[in-house]
Amino acid sequence: MKLAMRFGLSALLPIVILAAGCGSDSSSGGTAAGGSSTNGKSPDSGKKLVVGFSQIGAESGWRTANTESIKSEAEKRGVDLKFSDAQQKQENQIKAIRSYIDQKVDVIAFSPVVETGWEPVLREAKAANIPVFVSDRRPDVPDDLYVTFIGSDFIEEGKRAAEWLAAKCGGKATIAELSGTPGSAPANDRKKGFTDAIAKFPGMKIVFSQTGEFTRAKGKEVTEALLKSPQGSQITALFAHNDDMALGAIQAIEEAGKKPGKDILIVSIDGVKDAFKAMSEGKLNCSVECNPLLGPPLFDAIDAFKKGTKLPKRTVMKDGIFDETTAAKELPTRKY
């Protein structure tokens, strides 16, 4: 089962941790049953709750906002957070998780850089009776190896991006795709959602696809090379798996003497503030939101679990979709 990230409403909705099933909705601003009444303390011992969190890295504006949400919420609740930045390397995340097991933390939480390769270390956590919570990206492991997953539906994000583009271009486009980290859930699922959706439109074809590794610099580098190739002159639209790659592509398009958002339509995913600035300037056409503010719902879920509440295996974040017609109005209210 492949699961995905989140589509954030600009006004965050209350989280309903108790709602079961894949359709259960939550957001970053609410509380689970009982909220944060434990104040960072384990209800059975009264001691300060110790949580080990392994983060992917700092590859984008989205990830930076996600990290800040986790850290600030832990501080707010008085949680002893042991935070590790994996610098986008799975081996660093596995090493961090094993370190948390050795330290006998109360809870392990992580956002996996890729989908596969996690079962051995998560079985070690289970054997040590340490509950595991998954945030943002779901690993491809048996459900009994983690308590719950909180994140967005990446397939739906790709689908919404494709549907918006199809409506904008009248179902006819020659598309370049900037994909995310190979093997990661958002890269796999956003591609599937987008590709499945444009299959309904014979006039829409992806003729170029290459990873931009979710970074602005790589997005620019790949787009520069594309535009210098004979194939580059054919491109009428660009789909980027995140805003940072789209923003890098915009730089490359401008330096090539073209007008981003006009000569080449651009749709991306995340909804970060810089994307709203680009949309308000007419350089980015659309961004499907993926809310990074996962700190509150993550710690709500941990709190509820510690009290004995049975949690759904998946809580899907609610997200919006914004384009150049609404960006300027929404920009002042953006929180990330």
Within this chain, do residues 145 and 159 fall inside the same structural domain, yes or no? no
161-171 pLDDT, tens per residue? 999 999 999 99
Give me the pLDDT at residue 47, please: 85
Query: How many domains, in total, are found in the chain?
Result: 2
Q: What pLDDT, on a 0 to 100 scale, did the predictor assign at position 335?
A: 86
Overall average pLDDT of the 87-96 stretch: 97
The reply to whether 178 and 106 lie within a common domain is: no
CATH of the domain at 242: 3.40.50.2300
The whole-model pTM stands at: 0.83
Same domain, 169 and 134: no
User: Which amino acid, 34?
Assistant: G
Rg of the chain on CA atoms, in Å:
20
**Domain around 126:** 25-149+293-311
User: Tokens 């949690």 belong to which residue?
Assistant: 311
| Same domain flag for 232 and 281 | yes
Question: Between vectors from CA 280 to CA 320 and to CA 158, what angle results, nearest 5°?
Answer: 35
Buried b (16+ CB within 10 A) or exposed e, 192-219: bbbbebbeebeebebebebbbbbbbebb
Q: In which band, very low, low, confident or very high, does the pLDDT at 41 lie, cut at 50, 70 and 90?
A: low
Q: Which two tokens stand for residue 48?
A: 């300060």
Residues 44 and 73 in one domain: yes
Q: How many CB atoms lie within 10 A of CB 20?
A: 14
- Is pLDDT at 228 greater than 50 in this prediction? yes
Q: List, for residues 43-68, the tens digit of each pLDDT value.
A: 555 689 999 999 999 999 999 999 99
Residues 6+ away with beta carbon under 8 Å from 154 = 3, 4, 5, 185, 186, 188, 189, 190, 193
- Both 159 and 251 in one domain: the answer is yes
